[in-house]
Amino acid sequence: MSTEAHTPEATPAPVPGSAPASAPRTRGRFVALAAAFVLSALAVGGGTGALILANRTTSTPAKPVAQKPYLAPAFGVRPDGSHFGPLDELLLPVPATDAPGADETSLGNFTVLTPSQYSTAFLEEYRFLDAGKRGDLQNRLGLSALQGYAVAGYADGDNGLAIRVTLMQETPAHRDSAAAALRTLTGLTSGYRTGPNVSGYPHAHCYFPPNPFGSSSSLDRLRCEDVEGDLLITMQVDGVSPIAESAATDFFRQQLTRLATPAAQV
């Protein structure tokens, strides 16, 4: 058997001016840093309503939320405007690309509140309204007669969003109050910056309330509200400005779709 000398193949010379394939992309680095910035530990500062931004790597990771398996039709909104199924089951489960959010209110996550808890939560949730407007909304909702209030938090790391969803359930006798409250809210917030539309849900109302972080902050807040049956659904989104509106409204659309089809809207 003959042997031949093996000549190593020449390594192609680098193309002048080209960057190595492993060089990080500036845009990707910015999004990653922005996501880490806004999704760091979120906490309410003593009565100021401002969130304290801390290093995410030093915060305690949120505990995974065990989602209960379900089979339709275990829950949903009926054509007559009522709903069936546990209130916490009506909350959108944490999407595969997201994570459970921080428990900002210390009320838990995917939690149905007691009457005293949701009364306190309501005042906190609508603290951006002055006392008179908040009282008007409270009267429309008949807060003392609410049948249930559920809350859940989500963290969208890809888009740097901290999301909180609440469901307020009216009693059968006050079912129309939720729709009246939404109309009231639309009027009370008409002077705020207009937010995006929610595809398939023309009654949904999105807006930017007064920035709780201050006009010079790099953070901003978006709120969206809608009604399905006897439920007033609210989504609050905090994120690096400008907020990823498309991602935020798509999340809200998923939550509304879980409750009912657009045709079933009030």
- The answer to whether residue 16 sits within a structural domain is no
Lowest-pLDDT range, 95-109, 140-154, 226-240? 95-109
Domain CATH code at residue 102 = 3.40.1000
- The answer to whether residue 142 sits within a structural domain is yes
Q: Which is higher by pLDDT, 216 or 2?
A: 216
103-132 pLDDT, tens digit each = 766 766 888 888 788 888 888 889 999 999
Give the mean pLDDT of the chain. 75
DSSP for 94-149, written as a single string = PPTT-EEPP-TTSS-SSEEPPHHHHHHHHHHHTTTS-HHHHHHHHHHHTGGG--EE
| Residue 13 exposed, middle or buried by CB count within 10 Å (0-12, 13-18, 19+) | exposed
- The answer to whether residues 224 and 162 touch, using CB atoms and an 8 Å cutoff, is no
- The answer to whether residue 103 sits within a structural domain is yes
- The answer to whether residues 172 and 82 touch, using CB atoms and an 8 Å cutoff, is yes
Residue 265: which region, alpha, beta or left (left: phi > 0; alpha: psi -120 to 50)? beta
Q: What percent of the chain has pLDDT over 90?
A: 35
CA nearest 37: which of 211, 215, 245, 240? 240
Question: What band does 54 get if pLDDT is binned at 50, 70 and 90?
Answer: very low
Measured CA to CA, the distance from residue 134 to residue 212 in angstroms comes to 17
- The answer to whether residue 93 sits within a structural domain is yes
Question: What band does 155 get if pLDDT is binned at 50, 70 and 90?
Answer: very high
- The answer to whether residue 20 sits within a structural domain is no
Angle between helix 115-125 and 131-141 (nearest 10):
140
8-state DSSP, 81: S
Q: CA-CA distances (angstroms) from residue 98 to 233, 246, 257?
A: 20, 15, 18
Q: Which is higher by pLDDT, 174 or 188?
A: 188
Residue whose pair of structure tokens reads 């207009």 in the numeric block: 194
> Which structural domain, as residue segments, surrounds residue 178?
77-264
Q: Which is higher by pLDDT, 33 or 91?
A: 91
Question: What number is the average pLDDT over the span 130-136?
Answer: 90
Residue 263 has pLDDT above 50, yes or no: no
Tally of helices (H runs) and strands (E runs) in the chain: 5, 10
Residue-level pLDDT at 55: 34
Q: Which is higher by pLDDT, 158 or 229?
A: 158
Q: Which is higher by pLDDT, 16 or 148?
A: 148
Helix or strand (DSSP H, E) at 223: strand 219-228
Question: What band does 85 get if pLDDT is binned at 50, 70 and 90?
Answer: low
- The answer to whether residue 46 sits within a structural domain is no
Lowest-pLDDT range, 56-70, 126-140, 202-216? 56-70
Q: What percent of the chain has pLDDT over 70?
A: 62
- The answer to whether residue 23 sits within a structural domain is no
Residue-level pLDDT at 143: 78
- The answer to whether residue 91 sits within a structural domain is yes
Question: What band does 265 get if pLDDT is binned at 50, 70 and 90?
Answer: very low
Instruction: Name, in order, each residue with C-beta under 8 angstroms of 83's C-beta and a sequence gap of 6 or more.
Output: 75, 76, 77, 90, 169, 228, 229, 230, 231, 259
Measured CA to CA, the distance from residue 169 to residue 175 in angstroms comes to 8
Residue-level pLDDT at 159: 95
Q: Specify the number of domains making up the chain.
A: 1
